[in-house]
Amino acid sequence: MRVLHIVGIQNGWAIANRGKALAAALASRDIESGVWSFKEAGGRLFDSFDFVHVHGLQIVPLVGPALARYAGPWGFEVVSERAMKHANQCKPLTLTAAAVFAKNPRLGDAIRPFVSVEPQYIPNGIDPATFPPRTIRVGWVGNKRDAKHLAYKGVPLIHEAIGRLNAEHAGTVAFEYVEDPSHYPERTVPQSELAVYYRSLDVFVCASIAEGCSNVVLEALASGASVVSTDVGIAHELVAARLPVTIVARTAEGIARGIYHWANGRTAAATRMQAYQWNGPILSAYVNAYRAAIAAKAAEVAR
């Protein structure tokens, strides 16, 4: 199957980029595509494609002569309310469209009187490689770097917890362990530097064996980070005060659960956004529509 995508000005950010992104996604299904601007779409170009996809109702009249001459199936997108001002002008052409794609359900309702097929709602797609979810940043603060101190602070457990999370949620969201300059005992870190560090975190972890009243937990909370803590210091008081603190068992599994508890909103959103990726249901909807239109046209010609 070969699909021709007609877009507006090639360097236009929105419609042109959507057409190119869809064409690139179709390549993963072994569907050959061409992306041309309406200015380039003259002559007999259309005849070498099985389906012509016009990316915008406003572009339909600009390629009207080519569409009127084309013997194959074609379809168009309704991308905005503003584009509907072209509907009356385009009606003789839009009535011949074999597929109509609306970017939201209201646009589908609006275009229905101007077409002879049922409009199909297909939202815009996103490229997960270009727009991946932001990494969940996890950190801790200590005042030494030797193995005994790191073990006391539970740093190996935090490392293991991050590894577990990345293994469990691969492809959806990443958890990043943020090294902090305050780990190094050979220099003093100013409060301003720590403040910047805290604000860079999503989750601060206190995995110590014991604490008095942990300054670093209080500082992280004041800076806007959520906190995962073992049952040390004043952790229960902070929970009772309804601060974003969760108390966990001092194990890698417990720490991982605590981190995920605070990251869950973002990871859940990232998972749901998979439905809006070009290579997911959106691509399948387009491919199915193309194939149905091509098959219907072939059946019509056979009759």
Task: Tell me the per-residue pLDDT of 77-98, one tens digit each, with 9 for 90 and over.
Answer: 999 898 898 899 899 999 999 9
**pLDDT > 70 fraction of the chain, expressed in percent and rounded:** 95
| pLDDT of the residue at 264 | 83
Number of C-beta neighbours around residue 198 at 10 A: 20
pLDDT(211) > 90: yes
How does pLDDT run across 145-192, given as a tens digit for each residue?
788 988 999 999 999 999 999 999 887 788 888 876 555 555 567 788
Domains and CATH numbers, the chain: 2-127+277-302 (3.40.50.2000), 136-273 (3.40.50.2000)
- Rounded to whole angstroms, the Cα distance separating 130 from 133 reads 10
Contact between residue 220 and residue 194 where contact means Cβ atoms under 8 Å apart: no
Contact between residue 78 and residue 55 where contact means Cβ atoms under 8 Å apart: no
* Segment among 8-17, 43-52, 95-104 with least mean pLDDT: 8-17
Look at residues 296, 278, 295 and name the one whose alpha carbon lies nearest to residue 26.
Answer: 278
pLDDT(64) > 60: yes
- The pTM (predicted TM-score) of the whole model is 0.76
Contact between residue 59 and residue 10 where contact means Cβ atoms under 8 Å apart: no
pLDDT(204) > 70: yes
pLDDT(10) > 60: no
| pLDDT of the residue at 185 | 55
Rounded to 10 deg, the angle between the 215-222 and 191-199 helix axes is: 60
Exposed / middle / buried, residue 272 (Cβ in 10 Å: 0-12, 13-18, 19+): exposed
| pLDDT of the residue at 95 | 95
pLDDT(13) > 90: no
- Cβ neighbours for 300, distance < 8 A, ≥ 6 positions apart: none
Mean pLDDT value of segment 242-266: 93
| pLDDT of the residue at 210 | 96
